[in-house]
Amino acid sequence: MEVSTACRERTLTLTLHGELDHHGAKGLMDKVDREIEAALPLQLVMDMKNVSFMDSSGIAVVMRGRQRMRELGGTLALVHVPTQPKKVFDASGISRIVTIE
């Protein structure tokens, strides 16, 4: 899974591209860890507009990001979440604990 990174005023934006499944989740988690470590942001934004598919592997990635941000005293927001991933987030209950815009 491709990730593009932008960081401005301690907001780290990771834009995800393609399909987010178990096959790509490990690499994505490592990438998220590395980017957070490099930027030490106060807010992490995951932009999902280019995610064409996501299963429960995406939930583990988001929970990992949330955990890292909590350790830094920061927050996590998901933006531009397409219908199919949104449904997975809703079914898992994660929508109640993570900001989805």
Partner 1 sequence: MRRTENYVKIEFLSRSSNEGFARVAASGFAAQLDPTLDELGDIRTSVSEAVTNAIVHAYPDQLGRILLKMRVAEGNILELTVRDWGRGIENVEQARQPLYTTGGAERSGMGFTIMESFMDRVHVKSVPGKGTTVVMRKRIATRAKTGR
Which residues of the chain form contacts with partner 1 (CB under 8 A)? 19, 21-23, 25-26, 29, 53, 55-57, 59-60, 63-64, 83-84, 87-88, 91-93
Residue 28 and residue 20 in contact, taking contact as beta carbons nearer than 8 Å: yes
Residues in the chain: 101
Three-class SS of 38-50: HHCCCEEEEEEEE
The nearer residue to partner 1, 13 or 44, going by C-beta atoms, is 44
Closer to partner 1 at the Cβ: 67 or 99?
A: 67
Nearest in space to 53 (alpha carbons), one of 30, 26, 75, 81? 81
